[in-house]
Amino acid sequence: MHRTDSEEEIAEFIRIRGITRCPTACVSPTQGSVGAADRAALEAHAVARDRLQRAKIAAHARSFWPRGFVN
């Protein structure tokens, strides 16, 4: 299998520095695939997180408005 320059640079970096965990070495592409159920769960999580963030931002913004200013 042909190694790209980036793979060789990553391997050299790990060899020189003695890295045992994977901080920046994971920049190489992977061959994994994500199942449809996991993609759907991730999308649902992102939507819920976005909804919660928007609610927090709105509540924070309302704290600066005087009562009766907005319906």
User: Do 25 and 45 lie in a common domain?
Assistant: no
Same domain for 27 and 37, yes or no, is: no
Half-sphere exposure of 49 (CA within 13 A, CB side): 6
Taking the C-alpha atoms of residue 60 and residue 69, their distance in angstroms, rounded to an integer, is: 15
Are residues 53 and 20 located together in one domain of the fold? no
Query: Residue 11 belongs to what domain range?
Result: 1-31
Tell me, yes or no, whether 69 and 42 share the same domain: yes
**Per-residue model confidence (pLDDT) at position 71:** 54
Q: Are 16 and 4 in a shared domain?
A: yes
Q: What is the DSSP letter of 64?
A: T
Give the pLDDT score at 12.
Answer: 83
**What is the pLDDT, as a whole number, of residue 44?**
95
Same domain, 47 and 17: no
For the chain, what is the domain count?
2
pTM of the model: 0.47
Which is higher by pLDDT, 49 or 29?
Answer: 49
Residues in the chain: 71
pLDDT in tens, 11-33: 888 788 776 666 555 665 666 67
Residue 2 has pLDDT above 60, yes or no: no
